[in-house]
Structure 1
Amino acid sequence: MGDYMAEPITGYSELKEHASNPESERYIPSCMEMYIMSLQKSLCDELATIEGKEFTVDRWIRPTEADGSLGGGGITCIVQDGQVFEKAGVNISVVHGTLSKQAIQQMKSRGKELFGESVPFTAMGISSVIHPINPFIPTIHFNYRYFEIPGENKQWWFGGGTDLTPTYLNRDDAKHFHTTLKTACDGHDKDYYPKFKKWCDEYFYIKHRGESRGLGGIFFDDLDYVSAESALSFLKSCGNSVAPAYIPLVKQHINEPYSDEEVQWRQLRRGRYVEFNLVYDRGTKFGLYTENARIESILMSLPLTARWEYMNKPGPRENELLEVLKKPVEWCSE
């Protein structure tokens, strides 16, 4: 499959048929699946060129029950122990099933109206976390997804976001990153960037530490108040902005020298990353609550290594980052 990293989870001819017919009930999910497949391919190609090493491709199929209540699968693409990236993963998943009781409760807490104890769903998305080796190259995370509850009371929504988690503060990096995301948002609605930046700042917050996970970006969920076509178009703009927002930062810092002390600080910051993902992240929780979930793919976001050091005393350069993490910055206004 030259256009994709592997054969689509849904048959390629079936996808093309529905994606070319706006009247089809599967038009939006088929367009979404084809898009995340192509985005995965383009990003993996760029990262592999930088790394000088091809991604390992793992196409997996979810166990299917006899009544069809579970099914689907995904494609996990990953590089580990590289020269540039300690761990870089770009995943897609296309699954369907029945929501667990925990997932139903989680969605109801967000104001979703779900009827009955057995709630079917279809979900698909792309997610990526890139943990570089060089402490001066920031970690990036992005996730874009479509969720649908079919049937008489059909519901659908889009969600996702992109955010940056550096080890050391570089204001120019932050401005470039946020400006690129703002440009993608402004092409659809001038209110999107300030609204979704604020949401990102509030979401990626480690309450027990009193600090943000990183320098933020954009984050949104439950996007269902515009047409599905408009929402998908916006999501594509966000997805297409990931490479131009991030790849220049990798190339700028790839050969920057660093010390063992700076690596140790990187490890401590990765510990904070792990804390957020395991304690607060909704996507991680939803995955772990889902029956027959693929744990390897869900926990792909975690770094290979991290560190928790008792009573660490950061130096002046490290404190510069910590001060910014205590209060969000309007990077596009600096």
Structure 2
Amino acid sequence: MALPRVSALRASVRAQLSAQCYHRTFHGSSARTGRNRASVLVAGGAALVAGLIAGASRIQRAEMTGARVPTALDGKDLESRCSCFMAPPVTPLEGLRSPDMKSRMELLIMETQAEVCRALAEVDGGASFIVDRWQREEGGGGISCVLQDGKVFEKAGVNVSVVHGFLSEESIRQMKSRGKSLKTKDGKLPFSAMGVSSVIHPKNPHVPTIHFNYRYFEIEEADGNKQWWFGGGTDLTPTYLNQEDIVHFHQTLKEACDQHSPTFYPKFKKWCDDYFFIKHRGESRGVGGIFFDDLDSPSKEELFKFVQSCAKAVVPCYVPIVEKHKNDSFTPEEKLWQQLRRGRYVEFNLVYDRGTKFGLATPGSRIESILMSLPLTARWEYMYTPPANSKEGEILKVLREPKDWVH
């Protein structure tokens, strides 16, 4: 089964995503003692804001190139956009009418969450997402959408977080180690951060794992100066090597990057290869993609549109690969290799991942959401080494010697 051409696929995905807004259907709820949040089982990932929107049934979707964002959203426009989210936004609607970047970014990550969850639910065929809305005592909150033990996906999580407060000393040290010059007052530094983060672990070893994350960060220094930056990326972790799949994945991301600068893809592809490297194993976590952090130029507006294009590329870069392989047959030996590779995934996330470290160091952070990236199952065997000329050895060679997939 060949993958569709990227341009044709993009048009198809846009048509599917803009064709309709789903009406919110509640299939059960649970209140958790001591927690100010609600969990809702949502059939097919099709969740809308119950009781918040009356009769809203359409939403204007941005093209992958990035739609023009109005200077302000009136009540009806805002309700229309929010009508297809998995849950009400973290920020009250009145606060989202501002045209500032924090409002625009929150709307983008909420839309991205809903689009990805709907696409995953459709390809899984009958799966349900747990939609878990949570609050952070120190400020803000989030929405965690998690599918477990579906037909296609063993575990798929798509999280949104919108938090604010004061950075911990550990987080400030992390930022200073990356070259940030930060002026604190009495050791405190006010911040606002928001992002969408997802890791998707399939059951079939011939379907790769994908991770993506797009975020925006603001801090206010002691003298009132504000610093801001964007970060994020999308990367693929296959168990077995399929060159056509990997080329499709990278080509789709490259097209999203090229709309904004011809330098973005090669720069952020190398950054991804360097970042997702398991030093103690001497191998990459996967076959890369794009990764960037601390971006604050050329301008806030241009970078927002770039991040918007990257977010819109997630579904078309990944879902066709899932459709292609979700029904492939596999052996117990191939399933074992998938479990061993997941062990490597866990090692990277717990030892090196910057987002995991930041989350664990942030006061009031939600551990369940931070560790959502870990697979439901994994395996570690002592001194397991596959034959060099095997399919398992083939993927290991690529992981130790990153390739240029689009030239």
Is TM-score (shorter-chain normalized) higher than 0.5? yes
C-alpha distance in structure 1 between counterparts of 2:127 and 2:364, whole Å: 32
- Matched with 2:212 is 142
Give the RMSD, CA atoms, in angstroms. Answer: 0.8
Report if the CA contact (8 A) 2:89-2:110 is conserved: yes
Query: Residue type matched to 2:212 in 1?
Result: F
Q: What's the offset of the Cα at 1:54?
A: 2.3
- Matched with 1:66 is none
Q: What's the offset of the Cα at 1:241?
A: 0.4
Which segment is superposed worse, 42-51 or 272-281?
Answer: 42-51
Alignment of 1:177-192 (within 5 A): 177-192=249-264
Q: 2:310 aligns with which of 235, 238, 245?
A: 238
Q: 2:192 aligns with which of 122, 132, 146?
A: 122
- Matched with 1:131 is 201
- Matched with 1:10 is 91
Deviations 1:33-52 (A, max 9, x none): 00110111111111111122
**Secondary structure of the equivalent of 1:331?**
coil
- Matched with 1:332 is 406
**Secondary structure of the equivalent of 1:95?**
strand
Q: What's the offset of the Cα at 1:289?
A: 0.2
**Secondary structure of the equivalent of 1:130?**
strand
Query: Residue type matched to 1:167 in 2?
Result: T
C-alpha distance in structure 2 between counterparts of 1:32 and 1:218, whole Å: 20
Deviations 1:193-219 (A, max 9, x none): 000000000000000000000000000
1:108 maps to 2:176: yes
C-alpha distance in structure 1 between counterparts of 2:258 and 2:365, whole Å: 36
Deviations 1:123-182 (A, max 9, x none): 000000000000000000000000000351100000000000000011111100000000
1:82 maps to 2:143: no
- Matched with 2:23 is none
**Secondary structure of the equivalent of 1:255?**
coil
**Secondary structure of the equivalent of 2:232?**
strand
C-alpha distance in structure 1 between counterparts of 2:368 and 2:280, whole Å: 27
Q: How many residues align structurally?
A: 319
Q: 1:166 aligns with which of 230, 233, 238?
A: 238
Identity of aligned residues (%): 63
Query: Residue type matched to 2:103 in 1?
Result: S
TM-score by length of 2: 0.78
Whichever of the two has the greater Rg, that structure is 2
Query: Residue type matched to 2:266 in 1?
Result: P
1:207 maps to 2:298: no
Query: Residue type matched to 2:91 in 1?
Result: T
Alignment of 1:252-331 (within 5 A): 252-315=324-387, 316-331=390-405
Q: What's the offset of the Cα at 1:313?
A: 2.5
Report if the CA contact (8 A) 2:123-2:319 is conserved: no
**Secondary structure of the equivalent of 2:239?**
coil
- Matched with 1:58 is 132
TM-score by length of 1: 0.94
Q: Which runs of 5+ in 1 are unaligned?
A: 20-26, 64-69
C-alpha distance in structure 1 between counterparts of 2:113 and 2:315, whole Å: 11
- Matched with 1:39 is 112
- Matched with 1:93 is 161
Query: Residue type matched to 2:189 in 1?
Result: V
C-alpha distance in structure 2 between counterparts of 1:40 and 1:313, whole Å: 38
C-alpha distance in structure 2 between counterparts of 1:313 and 1:257, whole Å: 24
Which segment is superposed worse, 222-231 or 176-185?
Answer: 222-231
